[in-house]
């Protein structure tokens, strides 16, 4: 069936540095793709978006460049972000849909008003009828099943691609929060630097990500693991095969993971005592793809003395929370507005 309504669809978008997730009311998450766009520099046209564009990273000819239009949680290329959003919205609703959706988009807790406006404008230009901005820690808390409306302290650590957002939430808002520009992308960069320094080998972003996922570690493993990878020898300029161990990964990632655990400790230090007691009892909830790094929960727990647990669906938490936000908090507000406008002209409803 075609939907001929001019509005009515509600969409939640997790506009992440590494990936974009789209949640539609009643359907759940319908899109989960990398936030990468392939552009032909000669004709200034977009060739691919999402997973297809990600496969081109590091493998394109001179005239084609694979761009990640978001850096550290904010828009670095407005025009490309707008086109990417338009592509995902059309893919979610259908290219020939007449729907102009209401969209909730999440942003890091530390973004400025100018950066928020950029996200809002890009979403409107991409076809949204109405845009609502929600902070990532709040969305992550909702998506992980925390009842944020209670007068009880809950701590969320959301580790995405570009930022780590830490917040203590009570009564629907963030009491103490901190956003750190160290996250999954920094893990990849640290691995690339380490391989260059230790092995004199240059590896690409995709190889670094594979190392991070398969043998990356933030806390010493009881049983070490290793992985064979390929790169370019910086001395001979020729391809080289070599083996990387989890102990090397621990060393490579130590600086970035320590910064995250220190930031969590810093937020706890600034938390009011009553809420700190709640967190000690309830634990710290970790969300975002970066939380899947082996041993990061153990590192935070050893640093703070508070039990840290990884949420059930870490990658989707923010998108699910954004979608639930628009389902339960936005719908009512939209429905009430037409009724209020009637009174501006002195007209009253005759219904009894």
79, part of any domain: yes
pLDDT band at residue 330 using 50, 70 and 90 as cut-offs: low
Q: What is the mean pLDDT of residues 138-150?
A: 90
350, part of any domain: no
What was the pLDDT predicted at 336?
40
State yes or no: pLDDT of 337 exceeds 50.
no
- Measure the CA–CA gap between 92 and 29, rounded to whole angstroms: 10
Which of 253, 280, 297 corresponds to the end of one domain? 253
> Same structural domain for residues 269 and 174?
yes
> Same structural domain for residues 192 and 276?
no
- Measure the CA–CA gap between 125 and 71, rounded to whole angstroms: 20
Q: What pTM value is reported for the model?
A: 0.82
Residue 201 CB coordination number (10 Å) = 22
Q: How many domains does the chain have?
A: 3
- Measure the CA–CA gap between 193 and 173, rounded to whole angstroms: 39
Instruction: Work out the percent of the chain whose per-residue pLDDT is above 90.
Output: 43
Name, of 297-306, 310-319, 321-330, the range with top average pLDDT: 297-306
> Same structural domain for residues 132 and 23?
yes
Which of 253, 270, 294 corresponds to the end of one domain? 253
5, part of any domain: no
pLDDT band at residue 350 using 50, 70 and 90 as cut-offs: very low
Cβ–Cβ under 8 Å, residues 129 and 7: yes
Top pLDDT among 8 and 150 is at: 150
What was the pLDDT predicted at 66?
82
Q: What is the mean pLDDT of residues 89-101?
A: 76
State yes or no: pLDDT of 6 exceeds 50.
no
pLDDT band at residue 178 using 50, 70 and 90 as cut-offs: very high
- Residue 204 region, left (φ>0) first, then alpha (ψ -120 to 50), else beta? beta
Cβ–Cβ under 8 Å, residues 109 and 165: yes
- Measure the CA–CA gap between 190 and 184, rounded to whole angstroms: 10
> Same structural domain for residues 203 and 291?
no
234, part of any domain: yes
Average pLDDT, the chain: 85
What was the pLDDT predicted at 205?
87
- Which runs of E-coded beta strand occur in 272-342? 284-287, 308-310
> Same structural domain for residues 243 and 305?
no
Top pLDDT among 231 and 67 is at: 231
pLDDT band at residue 4 using 50, 70 and 90 as cut-offs: very low
CATH of the domain at 264: 3.30.420.40
What was the pLDDT predicted at 96?
55
> Same structural domain for residues 306 and 157?
yes
Q: What is the mean pLDDT of residues 76-93?
A: 86
pLDDT band at residue 97 using 50, 70 and 90 as cut-offs: low
State yes or no: pLDDT of 349 exceeds 80.
no
68, part of any domain: yes
> Same structural domain for residues 161 and 171?
yes
Cβ–Cβ under 8 Å, residues 293 and 331: no
Q: Give the CA distances from residue 217 to residues 137, 171, 203, in Å, rounded to whole numbers and listed in that order.
A: 24, 35, 19
CATH of the domain at 242: 3.90.640.10
Q: How far apart are the first and last CA of the chain?
A: 36
Name, of 70-84, 93-107, 155-169, 331-345, the range with top average pLDDT: 155-169
1, part of any domain: no
- Measure the CA–CA gap between 117 and 175, rounded to whole angstroms: 23
State yes or no: pLDDT of 2 exceeds 70.
no
State yes or no: pLDDT of 351 exceeds 50.
no
What was the pLDDT predicted at 346?
38
Cβ–Cβ under 8 Å, residues 134 and 325: yes
> Same structural domain for residues 29 and 55?
yes
- Measure the CA–CA gap between 286 and 309, rounded to whole angstroms: 6
> Same structural domain for residues 106 and 51?
yes
| Segment (H or E) for 154 | strand 154-159
28, part of any domain: yes
Phi, psi of 218 (to 5 degrees): -110, -10
What ranges in 216-283 are assigned the alpha helix state H? 246-269, 273-282
> Same structural domain for residues 154 and 188?
no
Cβ–Cβ under 8 Å, residues 139 and 265: no
* Predicted confidence (pLDDT) per residue in 232-284, tens digit: 999 999 999 999 999 999 999 999 999 999 999 999 999 999 999 999 999 99
Q: 135 pairs with which residues across the strands?
A: 107
- Measure the CA–CA gap between 306 and 261, rounded to whole angstroms: 12
Q: What is the mean pLDDT of residues 140-163?
A: 91
> Same structural domain for residues 103 and 249?
no
Cβ–Cβ under 8 Å, residues 67 and 77: yes
Q: Give the CA distances from residue 315 to residues 19, 56, 127, 146, 324, in Å, rounded to whole numbers and listed in that order.
A: 9, 23, 26, 16, 16
What was the pLDDT predicted at 345?
36
- Measure the CA–CA gap between 142 and 227, rounded to whole angstroms: 37
What was the pLDDT predicted at 95?
66
> Same structural domain for residues 274 and 325?
no
What was the pLDDT predicted at 198?
93
pLDDT band at residue 298 using 50, 70 and 90 as cut-offs: very high
State yes or no: pLDDT of 7 exceeds 70.
no
CA 17 to chain centre: 6
Domain extent at residue 14 = 10-140+316-345
60, part of any domain: yes
């Amino acid at each position: 069936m075609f939907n001929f309504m001019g509005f009515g669809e509600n969409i939640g978008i997790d506009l992440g540095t590494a990936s974009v997730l789209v949640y539609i009311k009643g359907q759940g998450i319908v899109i989960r793709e990398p936030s990468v766009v392939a552009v032909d520099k000669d004709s200034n046209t977009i060739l691919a978006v999402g997973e297809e564009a990600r496969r081109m990273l590091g493998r394109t000819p001179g005239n084609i460049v694979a761009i990640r239009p978001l850096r550290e949680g904010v828009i670095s290329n407005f025009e490309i972000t707008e086109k990417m959003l338009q592509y995902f919205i059309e893919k979610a609703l259908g290219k020939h849909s007449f729907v102009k959706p209401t969209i909730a988009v999440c942003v890091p807790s530390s973004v400025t008003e100018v950066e928020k406006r950029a996200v809002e404008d890009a979403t409107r230009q991409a076809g949204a009828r109405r845009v609502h901005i929600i902070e990532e820690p709040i969305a992550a808390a909702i998506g992980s099943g925390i009842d944020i409306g209670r007068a009880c302290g809950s701590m969320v650590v959301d580790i995405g691609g570009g930022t780590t957002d830490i917040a203590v939430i009570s009564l629907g808002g963030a009491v103490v929060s901190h956003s750190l520009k160290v996250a999954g992308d920094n893990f990849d960069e640290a691995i690339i630097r380490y391989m260059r320094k230790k092995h004199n080998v240059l590896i690409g972003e995709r190889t670094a990500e594979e190392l991070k996922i398969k043998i990356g570690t933030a806390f010493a493993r009881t049983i070490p693991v290793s992985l064979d990878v390929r790169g370019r020898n910086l001395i001979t300029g020729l391809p080289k095969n070599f083996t990387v161990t989890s102990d090397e990964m621990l060393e490579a990632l130590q600086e970035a993971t320590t910064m995250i655990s220190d930031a969590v400790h810093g937020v706890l230090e600034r938390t009011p005592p009553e809420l700190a007691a709640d967190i000690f009892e309830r634990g710290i909830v970790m969300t975002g793809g970066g939380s899947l790094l082996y041993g990061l929960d153990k590192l935070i727990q050893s640093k703070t003395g508070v039990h840290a647990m990884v949420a059930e669906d870490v990658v989707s938490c923010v998108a699910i929370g954004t979608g639930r936000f628009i389902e339960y908090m936005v719908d009512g507000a939209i429905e009430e507005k037409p009724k209020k406008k009637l009174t501006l002209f002195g007209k009253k409803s005759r219904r009894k």
